[in-house]
Amino acid sequence: MNVNYLYSLLAVIVLGLIAYVGAGVAGFQGLFGIFIPYLAVVIFIAGFINRIMDWAKSPVPFRIPSTCGQQKSLDWIKQNKIDNPSSTFGVIVRMVFEIVLFRSLFRNSRAEIVGERIAYKWVVWLWLFAILFHYSFFAVVIRHLRLFLEPVPVFIKIFEQADGILQVGLPGLFLSGVTLLAAAFFLLLRRILIPKINYISLAADYFPLLLIIGIALTGIMMRYFTKVDVVKIKELTMGLATFHAGIPEGGISGLFYVHLFFVSVLVIYIPFSKLMHMGGVFLSPTRNLANNNRMKRHINPWNPDVKFHTYEEYEDDFREKMIEAGLPVEKE
């Protein structure tokens, strides 16, 4: 029994209650609407940069790409230029595929005992829902820019139209909201229901998923069900984006502050957690290095200066004694 998801669920519920009671009931709207979001942005950016610079300091003396194809060899042997790149261009193509299409996750396989033998099966579901999840999240973030930009740029309007292309109901249903929630639930259920994955899952795996589900649920609630005054919300968010922060007259409902607080917590959480793969994917040494160990000598720049004493120098030091003892020398 893995109780980590219960702890994570409890943590998310408590966070939601804190915001609901704090801003909605007790009325600390300034704290939850202005102070915490600003704090979150500062912690996110400073923490992110700090974490990346920490990684940048780590020595990577040798090329350690994971090779997934034929390496560069003799002219008549065809190299796999993407899966085993030997040039910077190949690495760039490989990285683009990795970051944009999750190529390595696409190769996800499952080991199973079939009869008496072990068999490896290609399993596409993790890749499918992961890519759905990430792009939905990306779309949701882009859509939210309408609350932070005035006037709203054309590309965001076009994006919204595409997202709401089904024209279901009013306010129009956004596809990305539905797919985000569905994919996040799939990823959560995967960790809960598959015994092997459940066994290796930690609270740090469940918490961000549950938090994101919380964000999506509160957002969907506000748009389609309980309703909030979006003009007031834009007043608040535009105040934040222009450094003229203020709580709009009459305040905003508690549910909005739950949503905002969840987002703030998520953003603060990113630099200290596995969510740093947002920046880390660019720095993964098994992907972003060219496999050119046999073409180029890589010297570790962190190597200390070693004082060499060559054989010639040794012989110079001891030549006479060596000749006396009858040992062969190279120079008489």
Partner 1 sequence: MNDKPKIVIGLIIFFAVFTFPFWYNHGTVSSAPEPKLSDKAKQARQCVRDTEFMRTEHMQLLDEWRDTVVRDSERIYEVNGKEYNASLSNTCMDCHSNKADFCDKCHDYASVEPYCWDCHKYPKEKM
Interacting residue ranges for partner 1, rule: CB under 8 A: 44-45, 48-49, 52-53, 55-56, 60-61, 145-146, 148-153, 156-157, 160-161, 167, 169-171, 227-232, 234-235, 238, 241-244, 248, 279, 282-283, 289, 298, 301
Measure CA of the first residue to CA of the last residue in the chain; give whole Å: 79
| In the complex, minimum distance from the CB of residue 97 to partner 1, in angstroms, rounded to a whole number | 18
Which is nearer to partner 1, 87 or 198 (by Cβ)?
87
Task: Label residue 327 exposed, middle or buried (CB < 10 Å: 0-12, 13-18, 19+).
Answer: exposed
Q: Two tokens at 289?
A: 């290095």
Closest approach, Cβ 132 to partner 1, in A, equals: 23
Q: Distance between CA atoms of 1 and 238, rounded to whole angstroms?
A: 46
* DSSP annotation of 295: T
Select 144 or 319, whichever has its Cβ closest to partner 1: 144
Nearest to 263 by CA among 275, 277, 251: 275
Q: Measured from the CB of residue 90, what is the shortest distance to partner 1 in angstroms?
A: 17
Q: From the CB of 145, what's the least distance to partner 1, in Å? A: 7
Minimum CB distance to partner 1, residue 155 (Å): 11
Looking at beta carbons only, is 195 or 304 nearer to partner 1? 304
Nearest to 213 by CA among 175, 263, 253, 256: 263
SS3 129: helix
Q: How far is CA 220 from the centre of its chain?
A: 24
Tell the smallest beta-carbon distance from residue 226 to partner 1 (Å). 9
What kind and span of H or E run contains 120?
strand 117-122
CB atoms under 10 Å from CB of 266, counted, come to 20
Of the pair 60, 128, the CB lying nearest partner 1 is at: 60
- Nearest CB to partner 1, comparing residues 127 and 174: 174
Residues 269 and 207: their CA atoms lie apart, in Å, by 10
Indicate the residue among 122 and 272 with the shorter CB distance to partner 1.
Answer: 272
